[in-house]
Amino acid sequence: MLLDVGDLRVNYGTVYGNLEAVKGLNFTVEKGESIAIVGESGCGKSTLGLAIVRLLPPNATYGGRIVLDGRDVLKLKKGEVRKIRGTDVFMIFQDPLNSLNPVKRVSAQLMEALAVKQRRAGGSLDDKAAHKDMVDGLTSVRMPDPDVILQRYPHQLSGGQIQRVVIAMALLMKPKLLIADEPTSAVDVTIQAQVIKLINELKKEYGMSVLFITHDMAVAYTVADRFLVMYAGELSESGPVGKVVKSPLHPYTTALVNSIPTKSRNEGQLSAIPGSPPNMLSPPAGCRFHPRCPRVMDVCRTNDPGNTMMDDRTLRCHLYG
């Protein structure tokens, strides 16, 4: 097991009160496994990713455990956390342009990644060998003319090229866990397909574990081995991709699957989930999805459903409690 998240709680202290962004989350990631974290905007997906690398703002507080390769990230000192970033875990952020320094050439930024890796390994950096590694890294992400790309600044690259540069940086660091936070949201559908294909190929080639954060279940279906569906900071349903998509059990998962556009939908009608996600400063009592749930019962309005295990799935719903 590479990652073990247990009873994770993340709270933000705000001027309006306490905001519970993640509540009692439990899941694991095996070595070489790919898990997609899916859900609507504001459900806590990005907070979860940033919590794993300890990059949340100062007003955030943590509870529970995040055990990465045998070490609890939440118990590490700041200097120790910095050492695991890049080598143990690498995060690709939602906006690729903000991932790179706009005033440095691509070569300088990839060189910095190599320098960090060599320094932690206790070795020295050879310029000729480093240049070869950078060219090989860009070539491995299917980047044409890598020597030309190395001399360019981020603003001279397209969104898809920047995303490939960031992935190449991750490969140079060779992390055990790659966290990709909406890596396809800022690119067009053609580049989106290329990025998804690239992540799948690199996962097989390098044996990396992947935590893929997205609101798009159709995209997640092409990347992940397992789904973890989140709603309002909590787990709704988790299980193998095929089972969750073909036979969703939780009403929220069912609504997400039904909202995926398909060629067979009559007259182009799309199914929408009524209502909006709750205000996380004052979430509803009981099941947090009950104000929008078509199968709501009286117990849903007052009692927290808790987690229920059903074969290879975990559910948070009174229908199965």
Looking at the structure, tell me whether residues 209 and 255 fall in a common domain: yes
Looking at the structure, tell me whether residues 181 and 47 fall in a common domain: yes
Q: Are 28 and 3 in contact (CB under 8 A)?
A: yes
Q: What is the 3-state secondary structure (H, E, C) of 247-296?
A: CCCCHHHHHHHHCCCCCCCHHHCCCCCCCCCCCCCCCCCCCCCHHHCCCC
Residue 304 counted as domain residue: no
Looking at the structure, tell me whether residues 146 and 215 fall in a common domain: no
For 166, the token pair is 């960031």
34-72 in b/e burial notation, b at 16+ Cβ within 10 A? Answer: bbbbbbbebbbbbbbbbbbbbebeeebebebebbbbeee
Looking at the structure, tell me whether residues 183 and 246 fall in a common domain: yes
Residue 258 counted as domain residue: yes
Which candidate, 174, 170, 176, 175, places its Cα nearest to that of 30?
176
β-bridge partners, 92: 180
Low-confidence winner among 158-162, 220-224, 230-234, 278-282 (lowest mean pLDDT): 158-162
Looking at the structure, tell me whether residues 152 and 184 fall in a common domain: no
**Which pLDDT score is estimated for 70?**
93
What is the C-alpha to C-alpha distance for residues 288 and 281, in angstroms, rounded to an integer?
12
Q: What are phi and psi of 130, to 5 degrees?
A: -65, -40
Q: What is the CATH number of the domain that holds 247?
A: 3.40.50.300
Residue 131 counted as domain residue: yes
Residue 256 has a CB neighbour count (10 Å cut-off) of: 26
**Which pLDDT score is estimated for 156?**
92
Looking at the structure, tell me whether residues 26 and 106 fall in a common domain: no
**Which pLDDT score is estimated for 4?**
96
Residue 315 counted as domain residue: no
What is the C-alpha to C-alpha distance for residues 283 and 75, in angstroms, rounded to an integer?
29
Looking at the structure, tell me whether residues 77 and 102 fall in a common domain: no
Q: Are 219 and 184 in contact (CB under 8 A)?
A: yes
Looking at the structure, tell me whether residues 166 and 181 fall in a common domain: no
Which of the pair, 269 or 57, is modelled with greater confidence?
Answer: 57
What is the C-alpha to C-alpha distance for residues 236 and 228, in angstroms, rounded to an integer?
8
What is the C-alpha to C-alpha distance for residues 167 and 178, in angstroms, rounded to an integer?
9
Looking at the structure, tell me whether residues 57 and 140 fall in a common domain: no
Looking at the structure, tell me whether residues 118 and 149 fall in a common domain: yes
Chain centre to alpha carbon of residue 210: 8
How do residues 177-194 score in pLDDT, each as one tens digit?
999 888 776 666 776 777
- Looking at the structure of the chain, the number of domains it has is 2
Residue 33 counted as domain residue: yes
Task: State which residues form the domain around 17.
Answer: 1-88+177-191+201-274
Which of the pair, 293 or 265, is modelled with greater confidence?
Answer: 293
Residue 71 counted as domain residue: yes
Looking at the structure, tell me whether residues 182 and 225 fall in a common domain: yes
**Which pLDDT score is estimated for 141?**
80
Residue 280 counted as domain residue: no
What is the C-alpha to C-alpha distance for residues 82 and 94, in angstroms, rounded to an integer?
21
Q: What is the pTM of this model?
A: 0.89
Q: Are 160 and 184 in contact (CB under 8 A)?
A: no
Residue 302 counted as domain residue: no
pLDDT classification of 253: cutoffs 50, 70, 90:
very high
Highest mean pLDDT pick, 42-51, 212-221, 264-273: 42-51
The mean pLDDT of the chain is: 88
Looking at the structure, tell me whether residues 71 and 102 fall in a common domain: no
How do residues 73-129 score in pLDDT, each as one tens digit?
999 998 899 888 888 899 988 776 777 889 999 999 999 888 877 776 666 677 788
